[in-house]
Amino acid sequence: MRPKTTHTLLRAILALVAMLAVFALPGCKGKEQAGTGKKGLASGRGLEESLNSDKAPDYPVLWDTRPYKNIHKSAQQAWFLTETAYFVVQDKWRSATGEQRKAVEQEIDRNVFGVNDEVKQLFEDAIKAEPDNALNYASYAMWLKPRKYIKEGGFVNAYPDALKNIDKAIELWPDESRFYLQKAWIIYAPNYCGDWLRAGVDDKLAVNAALPDIEQLFATAEKYDPNNAYINYHHALTLYRFTDPAQFDSIKDALLRELRAGNQKSRNFFFFPPPLLPYSQSARVAVLWGTETEAIFYDHWHQFGEYPVSAVRSLVDTMTTSLQWPEQKQEIAEVMYFAYAVGRTEPFDSSYFHMQQRVMDIIMEQQKDNAEERRKLAEEARYLFAQYRDTAQELYDRKLITDVKRLDVSGVEDVERSGSRKNNIKDIVQRRHAGYLKHFAETFDVQFPLPESPEEW
């Protein structure tokens, strides 16, 4: 990125920072902080090299046939100025105390979340220079989604303009699966800019009302990327999160269909918005140091490539509770495999081996009056306990568990819930998770579509 002049660059940054603030400063994101091994970047030259690499994942679109593989340099600079503002306001917030913090809050609300004219113009310059580059429109849509136009006496959300731009991207490249997923994200995602959240009124109710549109977007995304399990899992989690819990029975069958469909698929990749790769096999830590000379796409790495942890846990719990053992043991097996398969989504986010204990507890409770079935389940529970003990011991040996009193499922859960992108636990936990499912299948005659080779577990 080459600024026109130092003066122009500084003026743009100051114009952005002069307004910086957040609706809810306590809404600072916690899960994705440095030290979790999360987030990386792939843009510019690195993006092109990755796309042409023999190691690139099997994305359904042949990238060599695309006329563009990156956003325009003006759009890249727009993100750079945005991230520079994030760094400055974060620095202000950390050093502010008392009344100073109130001033910073007002600043953030006005300027981090306010549409900055110079940054907006950079995106529009990119679109003018490359009007047939769908990536420019999709990138602009992502930038607009959480922001608002500051008006005298109030504001107007930029959300409708975000939808217009992602629709234009879809019009240009209708076979690009991730554009449909990105449009769904624009509808349901909270309004984060950097680490700051702008809360809205009745956001969940608004998303609930839009669920029919979101359902269609997931269906179309799956049409153009039919072998990606993530789309089905993400679909199920979104439907579950934004449906009134009192209406769970009305969506139960749809949720089970999505889990079963995802469990049978050959690929399992998160999606990322442009200019990041649509599929990425790794994600390095993205941290703003204030010394950057180009965009690192901080928002892209921090808002994508992860599952909502509480929703995964709640979905496993609620689905298992709603089913009956042993009459619906294969359906319960689908839920169990989902808990394993989300840990196979690339790049690695989190594992959920600890949830198998919860599944076991629920089905054993259902069998409290069936002595023979409860005996078989108790034997399997002892096997599961041994797997947790061995897993915890290995984590302890690697100093990932430090309390010798937690060499059981509690220690495994602590590690799994302590942050995302902890690649150093992936092989340890997922290998034993798969081994447990194999044993469970042999014991209770259920089917899990485990990879044939344990090396792929």
Residue 280 has pLDDT above 90, yes or no: no
Give 136's pLDDT tier (boundaries 50, 70, 90). Answer: very high
Average pLDDT estimate for 350-357: 97
Report the alpha-carbon distance of residue 13 to residue 201 in Å, rounded: 31
Q: Among candidates 12, 10, 198, which has minimal Cα distance to 108?
A: 198
For 77-134, write each residue's pLDDT tens digit.
999 999 999 999 998 988 888 888 888 888 898 889 999 999 999 999 999 999 999 9
For 8-67, write each residue's pLDDT tens digit.
444 444 444 444 434 344 344 544 333 333 333 333 334 444 443 444 567 788 877 899
Predicted pLDDT at 107: 86
For 213-231, write each residue's pLDDT tens digit.
999 999 999 999 999 999 9
Distant-in-sequence, close-in-space partners of 413: CB < 8 Å, separation ≥ 6: 354
Predicted pLDDT at 202: 67
Q: What are phi and psi of 369, to 5 degrees?
A: -105, 5
Tell me if residue 24 falls in helix, strand or coil.
Answer: strand
Predicted pLDDT at 201: 60
Predicted pLDDT at 100: 87
Instruction: Kindly report the average pLDDT of the chain as a whole number.
Output: 88
Report the alpha-carbon distance of residue 304 to residue 43 in Å, rounded: 16
